[in-house]
Every structure is written in C-alpha cells, then in structure tokens.
Amino acid sequence: MDRAAAARFVAAWCANWCRVDIDAVVAHFADDAEMRSPLALTLTGAPTVTGAENIRAYWRKAYGHIESADLKILSWSWDEAIARLTVWWQLGDTRASEFMDFDAAGRVVRSEAFYGK
C-alpha cells in the first residue's frame, strides 16, 4: 500500500463506520487479525479480540444497535516502512487514535485503539 491507497482506505473506513457497516469494516481484516481496545476489555473481559469473525461479533455487540455515526477524521498518517496507518478521529465527545498494521495483501493484521477526551 502506498500513501494514495492509505488515503482511499481512510475515506472508506470512515464512510463504513458512519454507516455502521461492520461487515464492510471487517472485510479489510485478515482472518487471524488482532484488535485491541479498552472497550473490548469492558465488554469481553479481555483487551484483545482475535480473528475476523470474533472482531465482527464484538463490534456487532458494541455498535450493532447504532444505525449511523458522525465519525470525523481529525488526521491520519501512513508509515510505508512498517505498513502502519494511524488515524485520529472523533465521535461526539470521544477522541481516539487507532493504528492498523497491514500485511503484504493490504489486509489489517493488527489494530489498537486509544481513547481520550
């Protein structure tokens, strides 16, 4: 992935979350991906969710009751040397940064979210 592809990914990722289209978001994840989040710890008792299907189930539990979201991208950065995308976003009063590591096929293999106010 190059910077232009990363920009397209960020735009699609944001649009998918605004529609709360969890299937579209998870479609970018490798089957054995890992997702780490403080919210996962709250909802599942563990900070890390492993496997695309488990990530899908977790997000459906966490966000499936929401029909749309006004997610705003504040900034993003692409590090081609390590294939890492970092996105800073805001949803209501919640501000977060999230990094995603990609494999050679352009799939997310690891992500981690950090929340603040």
The DSSP symbol for 1 reads: -
**Which pLDDT tens digit goes with each residue over 63-115?**
888 888 999 999 999 999 999 999 999 999 999 999 999 999 999 999 999 98
**Which pLDDT tens digit goes with each residue over 24-72?**
999 999 999 999 998 898 888 899 999 999 999 999 998 888 888 999 9
> Domains, the chain, ranges and CATH?
3-116 (3.10.450.50)
Q: Are 87 and 10 in contact (CB under 8 A)?
A: yes
pTM of the model: 0.91
